[in-house]
Structure 1
Amino acid sequence: MCGSLTSEALVTMPDGSASRVLLFAPDDADIARPLIVIWPGFGVGARYYRPIAQELASRGFPVAVGELRGQGSSTAVASWSDRWGYHDMASQDYPRTIRAAKARFDLPSDYPTVLLTHSMGGQIGSIFLSRPETADLGVIGMMGVGSGSPFTRAFPNPERRRLRIGGILMGGVSAVLGYWPGGRFDVTPYGRQSGVHLREWARFGRTNSLARLRGQDIDYTAAMQELELPVLFTRFSNDEYCTVASSRALANLIPKAFARVEELPGTLGHNTWAREPQEISDRFELFVAEISPAVS
Structure 2
Amino acid sequence: MEPTPEDTKPAPTAGADAAPVLETLERGGDVVALHAHPAPADASALAVLWPAMGVPARYYRAFAAQLTAAGVAVVVADLRGTGASTPAPSRASRYGLGELAADVGAVLEHLGPRRAGRRTILVGHSLGGQACALHLASDPAADVSGLALLAVGLPYWRTYPRGRRLPVLLQTQTLAAVSAVARVWPGWGFGGRQARGVIRDWAHTARTGRYPARNGVDLEAGLARVTTPVLAVDMAGDQFTPPGTVTHLVEKLSAAPVTRERYDPGAAIDHFRWAKHGAELANRVAAWASVVPPRLYQP
What TM-score, normalized by structure 1, do the two folds share? 0.87
In structure 2, relative to structure 1, the CA distance for the partners of 1:35 and 1:220 (3 Å cut) is: same
Which residues of 2 match residues 126-165 of structure 1 at below 5 A?
126-132=133-139, 135=142, 138-165=143-170
Q: Distance in 1 between matches of 2:258 and 2:182?
A: 37
* Structure 1 residue 255: Cα displacement: 0.8
Q: Structure 1 residues 177, 291: closer, same or farther in 2, change over 3 A?
A: same
- Per the alignment, residue 256 of structure 2 pairs with 257
- Greater mean deviation of Cα atoms: 160-169 or 119-128: 160-169
CA shift, 1:147, in A, is: 0.4
User: Can you give the 5+ residue segments of structure 1 that lack an aligned partner in the other structure?
Assistant: none
What are the superposed Cα offsets for residues 70-109 of structure 1, whole Å, 9 maximum, x if unpaired? 1111113323322211111111x11222233344x4x43x
Measured at CA, do residues 258 and 70 of structure 1 come closer, stay the same or move farther in structure 2, by a change above 3 Å?
A: same
Query: Is 1:243 matched up with 2:245?
Result: no
Secondary structure of the residue aligned to 1:44 is coil
Distance 2:226 2:156 in 1: 21
CA contact 2:89–2:193 (8 Å) conserved in 1: yes
Q: 1:98 maps to what in 2? A: 108
Distance change >3 Å, CA 292–CA 145, structure 1 → 2: same
- Could you say what secondary structure the match of 1:290 adopts? coil
Tell me the CA shift for residue 246 of structure 1: 0.6
Distance (Å, rounded) in 1 between the aligned partners of 2:269 and 2:245? 18
Who is 2:280 aligned against?
279
Percent identity between the two aligned chains? 27
Which amino acid is 1:125 matched to?
C
Q: Measure, in 1, the Cα distance between the counterparts of 2:132 and 2:32.
A: 18
Shift in Å, 1:111: 4.5
Distance 1:67 1:13, change over 3 A: same
Contact 2:232 2:259 in 1 (8 A): yes
Equivalent residue pairs, number? 281
The match for 1:64 among 67, 72, 75 is 75
SS of equivalent to 2:63: helix
223-232 vs 154-163, greater mean Cα deviation: 154-163
Q: 1:134 to 1:3 in 2, by over 3 A?
A: farther
Q: Name the CA distance, whole Å, in 1 between partners of 2:201 and 2:246.
A: 18
Q: Indicate how the Cα distance of structure 1 residues 50 and 193 shifts in structure 2: closer, same or farther if over 3 A, else same.
A: same
Q: Which letter maps to 1:115?
A: L
Structure 2 residue matching 1:8: 3-state secondary structure = strand
**2: CA distance, partners of 1:280 / 1:217:** 37
Query: Which of these residues, 25, 36, 40, is aligned with residue 11 of structure 1?
Result: 25
Could you say which structure has the greater relative contact order, defined with CA pairs below 8 angstroms and 6 or more residues apart? Answer: 2
Q: Is the 8 A contact 1:117 1:147 kept in 2?
A: yes
Long gaps (5+) in structure 2: 1-14
Contact 1:143–1:232 under 8 Å retained in 2: yes
Question: Match of 1:42, as an amino acid?
Answer: M
- Find the counterpart in structure 1 of residue 128 from structure 2: 121
Residue 130 of structure 1 aligns to a residue in which SS?
Answer: helix
The match for 2:7 is none
Tell me what 1:44 maps to. 55
Q: Does 1:174 align with 2:179?
A: yes
In structure 2, relative to structure 1, the CA distance for the partners of 1:95 and 1:194 (3 Å cut) is: same
Q: Is the 8 A contact 1:32 1:294 kept in 2?
A: no
Distance verdict in 2 for CA 1:253–1:295, change over 3 Å: closer
- Runs of 4+ residues deviating >4 angstroms: 292-296
SS in 2 for 1:257: coil
* Greater share of residues in helix: 1
Q: What secondary structure does 1:179 align onto?
A: coil
1:3–1:26 CA contact under 8 A, matched in 2 = no
Moved more, 278-287 or 74-83: 74-83
Q: Structure 2-normalised TM-score?
A: 0.87
The alpha-carbon deviation at position 253 of structure 1 amounts to 1.4
